[in-house]
Homo-oligomer: A and B are copies of this chain.
Amino acid sequence: MALAEGRLVFVGLGLHDERSITLRGMDAIRQADVVFAESYTSILSEGSLSRLESATGKKIQLLDRTAVEDGKTILDACKSSRVVLLVVGDPMMATTHVDLRLRAEMQSVSTEVVHGVSVLTAVPGSLGLQHYKFGRTTSLPFPQEGYSPTSPYDTIAENLSRGLHTLVLLDIDAENSKYMTANEGLHLLQDMERRTSKLIITEATLVCVVARAGSPEACVRAGRISGLVNMDFGPTPHSIVIPGRLHFMEEEALRTLADHNAALSPEKE
């Protein structure tokens, strides 16, 4: 086989399983000499990558956090091969991927991004909430000894003060198969309220949960936090949305799609 020009293509796997990849992503895998998948920012449901191997006839090599951050294995392979790096969701959401792309470009490796379905649009869309009414996205990290910032709470407060919704992404420690549940996330938010006494999230606050966004078995719920905090949403991944002012169509959507009891609805637009 003749040596190909070095090339690195980031391919978004989308959400849930291997059926969320695009046709363009499949083309990129089929044309690749080497296919890596990173397994630490997020992973698909079990068996997805092996089914993707069967469908494309390519071996997929799993890379852990160190290998992706260090980048040597990938960049070495790019010198003379067409390399694909598979990433869950839409690539370039993590700084590590941007860093890797820039390092490849600086070594004269041509790069390309094949975009994928992202939780950033799938979650608002599943709830019927309007994208232009979302403020800054935030994320909740797993609490660590001596590190439990309340900055996500500040973001929610800032968005709410402007009537905007907040998408709250929940921490993933994919290498240890730990996904934060919406229940843990809601508990953390209640804890932030206790620590800051800002009266942002009270027992009556309307919250939304989307579990398994992008899967045919997605679960979509809205209600008072007191009602949702102990609800069972099934397997992870989960996401939370704290809605701001709701347009009547958004309220109708939560009622119809997310089992939201209209009597509990908050301030209207």
Cβ contacts A to B, 15 pairs, < 8 Å: A12-B117, A21-B22, A21-B23, A90-B117, A93-B125, A98-B128, A98-B250, A101-B128, A102-B249, A106-B256, A115-B125, A117-B117, A132-B136, A132-B137, A135-B135
Residues of B contacting A72 in the complex (Cβ-Cβ under 8 angstroms): none
Copies in the complex: 2
Say yes or no: is A189 at the interface (Cβ < 8 Å to chain B): no
A139 to B132 alpha-carbon distance, docked (Å): 9
Does B98 lie within 8 Å of A113, measured CB to CB?
Answer: no
Does A131 lie within 8 Å of B26, measured CB to CB?
Answer: no
Residues of B contacting A18 in the complex (Cβ-Cβ under 8 angstroms): 23
- A164's partner among B101, B125, B136 (CB-CB below 8 A) is B136
Chain B: minimal CB distance from A105 (Å):
5
Question: How many residues in A have their beta carbons less than 8 Å from beta carbons of B?
Answer: 58
Say yes or no: is A112 at the interface (Cβ < 8 Å to chain B): yes
Say yes or no: is A216 at the interface (Cβ < 8 Å to chain B): yes
Residues of B contacting A118 in the complex (Cβ-Cβ under 8 angstroms): 117-118, 120-121
Does A115 lie within 8 Å of B27, measured CB to CB?
Answer: no
Does B19 lie within 8 Å of A256, measured CB to CB?
Answer: no
A15 to B118 alpha-carbon distance, docked (Å): 13
A24 to B41 alpha-carbon distance, docked (Å): 23
| Cβ proximity bits A229-252 to B, threshold 8 Å, 1 near / 0 not | 000000000000000000001101
Residues of B contacting A130 in the complex (Cβ-Cβ under 8 angstroms): 95, 98
Does B121 lie within 8 Å of A253, measured CB to CB?
Answer: no
Residues of B contacting A117 in the complex (Cβ-Cβ under 8 angstroms): 12, 22, 90, 115-118
A164 to B155 alpha-carbon distance, docked (Å): 12
Chain B: minimal CB distance from A260 (Å):
13
Chain B: minimal CB distance from A10 (Å):
9
Say yes or no: is A223 at the interface (Cβ < 8 Å to chain B): no
The residue in chain B whose Cβ has the minimal distance to the Cβ of A124 is B92
A132 to B98 alpha-carbon distance, docked (Å): 14
Residues of B contacting A122 in the complex (Cβ-Cβ under 8 angstroms): 90, 115
Does B14 lie within 8 Å of A115, measured CB to CB?
Answer: yes
Say yes or no: is A6 at the interface (Cβ < 8 Å to chain B): no
Q: A102-B256, A120-B121, A131-B137 given. 11 additional CB < 8 A pairs?
A: A12-B117, A15-B115, A20-B23, A20-B24, A92-B125, A92-B128, A98-B249, A102-B252, A105-B257, A118-B118, A118-B120
